[in-house]
Structures are given as C-alpha cells and as structure tokens.
C-alpha cells in the first residue's frame, strides 16, 4: 500500500469515527434517552456493536431518531423492557434497523415545499420508506406499516454522508403487532401461496390456535404443507391426544433466537421431549430431521419455517 493510500484510508476511518461520534453525542443529548439505551443494547448478528458496524462502510445514512415520547406505547405495554432481554435481541436489532435508511435524505429535505415530490428509499430491513414534504419543516414518512407514520423535523447533519432526523414517533415493522398464528394466515393470504394452511388447520383442530395467538415468549416450528403427509394428518385428526402432543412438540416456551442456531444442542419442547438442533454444511440447520427454511419475528416470539414435521422421539 502506498503512502497516499495509507493516508486516504486513515482519513476515511477518521471521517467514519467522527460521524459515529456525532451521532452518539446527539443520542446522548437527553431528548433521545430511550433510543440511546436501545442503541447501546443493539448488536449485529456477529456480536459487533450496531453503530460501529453501520459506520464501517462509507455509505450515506439517514438515522430517524424518535424522541422519548415516541416510545410511550412500548413503555406502557412493558415491551420496551422485553427488548432488552437476550432472547429478544433479534427483535431489537430489527427495530433499530427499521429506523435507518442507507441513503441520504438531503435531496428531499432540501427541495422546496411546493414541489412535494415523493422520495422513495429503503431502510436497513429492506422496507420501503416514502417521504414527502408537507410544510417548510415537516416531512411525513410512510412505511409499509401504515400504522406508524413518523412526523419529522429538520435534520441534524453529522457528516457529509450521515444525517440525523428527529421524529415524533417510532417507525414500527409489521411484526410488532403480529402474533404467530396471524402471521401464518396473513402470509398465505398475502403471497397467495398455501404454505402453512395444513399446520394452521391442525392448530384449530387441536384447539391450540388461541394458545399460539396469546402465548408470550414462544418459539413455533411450523412445517410447510408439503412436510405434512395426508396419512399423518388423517391419523392425527382421528387421535385428539396424539394431535395435542404433536402440536406441543412443535413449540418451545421461550424465544429461541436464530443467532443461537450455530451449534449442536437439544431443545426441550412444550411436550417435554427433546429435539436436536444440528447445523450442517450441506443442508443448513436441521431441527430433528427437518430442514430450517426461514424464520419470521413476531411481537412475542419467533416462527421457524420447517421442511417437515417434527416427530416426537417417543413415537418411534
């Protein structure tokens, strides 16, 4: 590396650290104390601190900082305290990522109010953010979750690439109002693909749909339709006790984080039996003999999309 390259790299690191320090100072200013606490608890999947990670790359950023009053709903429901728990660190990471766009908003914030041209970008979660001016100082942010628009004020520049925009309320991802059962139903309706309809029907038949709706701190392993054979479904419907045990074996009464699926271990299901978690190179993560196909956060837990049903060991 030439001396010029070394100097350039040093200046880049210095600019990044200066921008991050400016953001930290704004977060510590007093009116963003709740957000500041959440940011301090947020970490990347690899364990690195959230702010350090996002400022490592020289990319434009817009950080939407909600004032303390914007977190009143989360405080009232005690959910704010839950986000601090280790088992909810993916939820916290998702919520914080939702408040940051990897594109500068200077263009829309500096346009005359009479133009009122919508500006489309995405946050770090990949959700669309639509921004348009309403007055000289107010901008409305409309996300995919239309229940959480954020009234914005004039931005606070921190560097050439980063600005902080104070907001009156938090932008919530869709999962903040979603329960496990609702996700399965809405997923199939929204995508027009029958993915969880069989498993959802079994939950209803076993009188456990309300349990899944109302449970807190629950991990649900939901097999896709193709993973539930007609013979198995018919057998379960004829034996209510077996159906109840089968469904309980797909539940863990704690939020088992996707970040924790990196080593071989045993999970204890609600049924009281164990299921083996086995990360593999060729097939990815196996839960029992079923392959993990994806996951979805919900307000009080997490759903894992599974290729096949989990059969209790005692049935074999």
* Structure confidence at residue 6 (pLDDT): 36
> For the chain, what is the domain count?
2
- How far is Cα 166 from Cα 155, in angstroms, rounded to an integer? 7
Q: What is the CATH number of the domain that holds 59?
A: 2.30.180.10
155 and 219, same domain (yes or no): no
309 and 207, same domain (yes or no): yes
Question: What range defines the domain where residue 242 resides?
Answer: 178-315
* Structure confidence at residue 310 (pLDDT): 97
Between residues 85 and 186, which one has the greater pLDDT? 85
Q: What is the pTM of this model?
A: 0.86
Average pLDDT over residues 121-137: 79
Q: How far is CA 242 from the centre of its chain?
A: 34
88 and 194, same domain (yes or no): no
* High-pLDDT (> 90) share of the chain, %: 42
Average pLDDT over residues 140-156: 69
146 and 185, same domain (yes or no): no
Tell me the sheet residues that pair with 268: 274
What does the DSSP 8-state code read for residue 296? E
Bin 272: left if φ > 0, else alpha if -120 < ψ < 50, else beta.
left
- How far is Cα 201 from Cα 204, in angstroms, rounded to an integer? 5
State the Cα angle at 144 between 138 and 149, rounded to 5°. 30
Q: Among 46-55, 236-245, 276-285, which stretch is predicted with the lowest mean pLDDT?
A: 46-55
Sign (positive or negative) of CA dihedral 252, 255, 261, 266: negative
Average pLDDT over residues 186-204: 82
* Structure confidence at residue 17 (pLDDT): 62
Between residues 159 and 10, which one has the greater pLDDT? 159
Show the tokens assigned to 36.
Answer: 């500041």
pLDDT per residue as tens digits for the range 56-85: 766 788 889 999 998 998 888 889 999 999
- Neighbouring CB atoms inside 10 A of 57's CB total 10
Nearest CA to 278 among 295, 296, 290?
290
pLDDT per residue as tens digits for the range 268-310: 999 999 999 999 988 999 999 999 999 999 999 999 999 999 9
Q: Is 45:93 a contact under the CB 8 Å cutoff?
A: yes
Is the pLDDT assigned to residue 8 strictly greater than 80? no
Query: What is the pLDDT of the chain when averaged over all its residues?
Result: 84
């Amino acid at each position: 590396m030439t001396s010029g390259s070394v100097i350039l790299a040093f200046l880049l690191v210095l600019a990044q650290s200066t921008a991050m320090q400016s953001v930290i100072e704004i977060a510590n200013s007093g009116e963003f104390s709740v957000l500041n606490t959440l940011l301090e608890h947020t970490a990347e999947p690899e364990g690195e601190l959230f702010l350090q990670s996002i400022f490592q790359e020289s990319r434009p950023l817009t950080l939407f900082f909600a004032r303390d009053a914007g977190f009143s709903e989360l405080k009232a429901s005690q959910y704010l305290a839950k986000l601090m728990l280790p088992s909810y660190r993916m939820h916290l990471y998702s919520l914080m990522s939702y408040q940051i766009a990897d594109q500068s908003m200077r263009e829309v914030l500096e346009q005359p109010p009479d133009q009122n041209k919508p500006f489309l970008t995405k946050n770090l979660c990949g959700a669309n953010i639509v921004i348009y001016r309403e007055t000289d100082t107010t901008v409305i942010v409309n996300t995919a979750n239309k229940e959480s628009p954020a009234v914005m004020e004039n931005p606070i520049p921190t560097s050439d690439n980063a600005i902080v925009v104070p907001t009156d309320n938090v932008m919530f991802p869709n999962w903040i109002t979603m329960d496990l059962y609702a996700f399965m139903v809405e997923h199939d309706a929204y995508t027009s693909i029958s993915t969880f309809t069989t498993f959802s029907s079994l939950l209803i038949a076993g009188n456990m749909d309300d349990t899944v709706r109302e449970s807190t701190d629950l991990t649900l392993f939901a097999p896709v339709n193709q993973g539930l054979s007609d013979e198995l479904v018919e057998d379960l419907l004829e034996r209510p006790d077996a159906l109840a045990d089968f469904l309980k074996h797909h539940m863990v009464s704690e939020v088992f984080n996707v970040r924790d699926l990196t080593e071989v271990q045993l999970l204890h299901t609600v049924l009281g039996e164990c299921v083996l978690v086995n990360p593999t190179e060729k097939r990815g993560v196996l839960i029992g003999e079923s392959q993990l196909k994806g996951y979805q956060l919900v307000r009080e837990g997490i759903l894992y999309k599974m290729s096949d049903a989990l059969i209790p060991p005692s049935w074999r």
